Amino acid sequence: MTLSLRRFRGAERLGGPLLVIRRPPGLALGEEVVVRAGSSAGLRGAARHGRVVELDIEHAIIQVYEGTGGLDIQTTVVEPTGGPFRLGVSAAMLGRRMDGRGRPIDGGPPIMPIRLAAVDGGAINPVSRDNPRDFIETGVTAIDLLASLVRGQKLPIFTGAGLPANELAARIAMGARLLGDARFVTVFAAMGITNREAAYFEDAFAGSGALDRIAVFLNLAEDPAIERLLTPRCALTLAEHLAFDLGLDVLVVMTDVLAYGEALRELSTAREEIPGRRGYPGYLYTDLATLFERAGRVHGRPGSLTLLPIVTLPDDDITHPVPDLTGYITEGQIVLSRELWGRGIDPPIDALPCLSRVMNAGIGEGRTRPEHRLVADQLYALYARGRELRRLLAVIGEATLSPPERAILAFADAFETRLVGQGTARRTLEASFDVAWELLLELPDETLTRLPAELVAAARAARTPP
């Protein structure tokens, strides 16, 4: 290897996304480098970019985002930049479409950054972290009423192959808002999606009228897989600037975290690391945490970063390492059901396994409605009982059910078709409460065991014509 003005020629090994060189003096872990295909006469070809992912006494391993195809061991040139990968961030990125590394791909003018920010970022210091607070209206009744999204929360959506997770993600990205707050913006990060899916997102955002408050990062399936490791970090870096520098409330929607995990496994295999569960690296939990823990609120700062990652379950297996570890890090989950989707319920959200661990911090008196928690508990309890009665019907038959049990059984059907299955229309929180009370008041009072009698009486009186 030769050294000239921080330029190093020659490599020891090339393979997949990795380039191995002898460790030069001054090279740092995580440093960004420029890789060029060289020749005896000089440099040739377009510059590639990478970062140092491993250092030992003698060698440095560089992760090349564009891959190492076409490089030559003898003539490859590595140029360290002296710092980590940085993204130029600006509020002007709202309304723009960028690739997985933050470069505009919408044909618009160059983006003039306010500052350069290291994309690796860091988790919010626990001492500085403020609790999630304030309700976010997504326009999806099953989420807003039963597993409410709260400002500063991390709430994943678990889906199966073929279920409309992308459609749900786009709906939330376009329709989510803070009640009474006009500062709410969205950063959308797509990893490993097809051209058809990318076209869907572009058309949906453009036709929504909300494009000016959405920044889109697109990593396509044909793009380098290793770039998927950078895409969510770029999106989160922009979101942190908007939230903690400019004081905006930001929702980050990521799809699909499974594609990110597959890219991480590919890199781990290329580095010949000892595999963990199902071939994923043993540090998968830590790596995912470096993404998800960047969400939250900070004491003394008005902005917030709320995270809504989409995670596909391979073979509908929720114990798969990626969704399993995602559930440990985040604060609940929204689960899509293949059975409901097969019956035409849209969106097919299965309410029973859904959970929002910080829901109480965003609902109730002064935030949504005083009875929000009570109504959610009653809906959940009745639906769970209705599902249980469905299973019993095959054994005991409907004739053996009491009149209240038959009413609850009918409620479970109406809950799925009328409350969960709202179709593609956006529902306000007030409209969601109207549907919920319509369903509850169709039941006899003795079944409404989670609601105070005076609340039920007042609700019946309000809906009784004079």
Domain assignment present for residue 274? The answer is yes
Give residue 44's pLDDT. 60
Tell whether 366 is covered by a domain.
Answer: no
- Examine the domain organization and report whether 217 and 318 are in the same domain: yes
Residue ending a domain, among 361, 383, 400, is 361
Whether residue 47 sits in one domain with residue 18: yes
Q: Are 254 and 201 in contact (CB under 8 A)?
A: no
CA gap 70, 89 in Å, rounded: 32
Largest pairwise CA distance in the chain:
93
Instruction: Work out how many domains the chain is built from and give that number.
Output: 3
| pLDDT at position 42 | 55
Domain match, 350 and 252 both:
yes
Reading the block at residue 312, the tokens are 């596909």
- Does residue 445 come out as left (phi exceeding 0), alpha (psi in the -120 to 50 range) or beta? alpha
| pLDDT of res. 4 | 41
Judge whether 130 and 152 are in contact, CB under 8 Å.
yes
CB atoms within 10 A of CB 92: 15
Same structural domain for residues 351 and 376? no
Q: For residues 102 and 233, what is the distance between their CA atoms, to the nearest angstrom?
A: 10
Same domain, 418 and 406: yes
What token pair was written down for 251?
Answer: 């929702």
**Is the domain of 216 the same as that of 273?**
yes
Domain identity same for 49 and 150: no
* 270 lies in the same domain as 397: no
CB 107 within 8 A of CB 98: no
pLDDT of residue 1: 42
Domain boundary (38, 61, 84) is at: 84
List, as one string, the DSSP characters of 295-354: -EEETT-S-EEEEEEEEEEGGG-TTSHHHHHHHHHSSEEEEB-HHHHHTT-SS-B-TTT-
Task: Tell me, yes or no, whether 8 and 21 share the same domain.
Answer: yes
**Residue 436 within any structural domain of the chain:** yes
Q: What is the pLDDT of residue 2?
A: 41
- For residue 392, give its domain range: 372-462
CA–CA distance, 61 with 18 (Å, rounded to integer): 7
76 and 219 share one domain? no
Q: Are 48 and 65 in contact (CB under 8 A)?
A: yes
Query: Is the residue at 30 inside a domain?
Result: yes
The per-residue pLDDT string of the chain (466 residues; one tens digit each, 9 = 90 and over) reads: 444 447 888 888 888 888 999 988 888 888 999 998 876 545 566 788 889 988 988 889 999 988 888 888 888 889 998 888 999 999 999 999 999 999 999 989 999 999 999 998 877 888 899 999 899 999 999 999 999 999 999 999 999 999 999 899 888 888 888 877 656 799 999 999 888 888 888 888 887 777 888 999 999 988 888 889 999 999 999 999 999 999 999 999 998 899 999 999 998 988 888 899 999 999 999 999 999 999 999 998 888 999 999 999 999 999 999 999 999 999 999 999 999 999 999 999 999 999 999 999 999 988 899 999 999 999 999 999 999 999 888 787 777 888 999 999 999 999 999 999 999 899 999 999 999 999 999 999 999 999 999 999 999 998 765 5
| Same domain flag for 173 and 277 | yes
